[in-house]
Amino acid sequence: MSNRGVGHIDSLAALGRLDDADIDLAEGALLLAGLDRPEGDLSPFRDHLAELVRNVKASLPSEITRDVSRQARALADTVSGKYNYQGDTLTYDDPQNANLIRVIERRKGLPVTLAILYIHVARAQGWSATGINFPGHFLIRLEGNGGRVILDPFNGGVQRDVADLRGLLKQMTGIESELEPGHYAPIGNRQTLIRLLNNIKLRAIAAKEGDRVAEILDRMLMVAPDDLSLLREAGQCHAEIGNMRRAIEALEAVVARSAAGPLRRETEALLRQVRSRLN
């Protein structure tokens, strides 16, 4: 791996040690994307993000920046309008849609990747923006001055009301589904990056690419090093592809760091199986 690739790994490891509120979503997503392009320079993509920020700022007079509806329109008009970012409805499952570098180059992506762009640009204005852990479809929420707006970056940054969300939920999870408070729950920066990576992992699982699944799990652990469930999953995956020493290392760490309970018991059983295969 090139020096740049090693640098991306070091930067991601440092990001993983940050408090959630201190994580720069777009920078994290760029570093993750850069691992698949280790010879590439991230500065053009950082420059593009800065350009988006400047254009949104220029589009909205300072005296009305506290109006969340105007904020939402400024984001949509710039990101999805002027720069033509859109959801990839034709090749939704293309792994490129979860790679922020390729999303910037292609101007299309998954809901979560496009939401990271929106959130980054909004926060750079000093606005309150967060991801919403909506089932099957990542949304964002803008809040300020007593107002609240939910945006759908995948669909041109359109503002979603309760009726829209109910219809979207039924489309995603079934006609019997009804909105619950949890559907509006904010999702933190770390878990947003995990959700981004999970899209890549699921596609690698579907393609039976075991080595790629293990690679993505290791990236998840750089972002969320304290997630013992992820660490156990990584251990199991490494065992399945024959990387026994890495599997034992991960599983031993889970046992050492977990409290008594189902996770520890199940991991101890798996660890015994893996060790028996190594002997």
Give me the helices (H) in 107-227, please: 111-124, 162-173, 189-206, 210-223
In single-letter form, the type of residue at position 172 comes to M
Contact predicate 230/260, CB 8 Å: no
Region 148-175 average pLDDT: 88
Q: Domain residues of the chain, as ranges? A: 3-187, 226-278
Confidence grade of residue 5 (pLDDT, cut at 50, 70, 90):
low
Statement: residue 1 has pLDDT above 60: no
Mean pLDDT, the chain, rounded, equals 92
Residue 122: closest CA among 70, 86, 161? 70
* pLDDT tens profile 214-253: 999 999 999 999 999 999 999 999 999 999 999 999 999 9
pLDDT at 200: 96
* pLDDT tens profile 69-118: 999 999 999 999 999 999 999 999 999 999 999 999 999 999 999 999 99
CA distance 274 to 279: 9
pTM: 0.93
Classify the C-alpha dihedral 141-143-149-153 as positive or negative: negative
Contact predicate 102/96, CB 8 Å: yes
Region 164-175 average pLDDT: 82
CA distance 128 to 24: 14
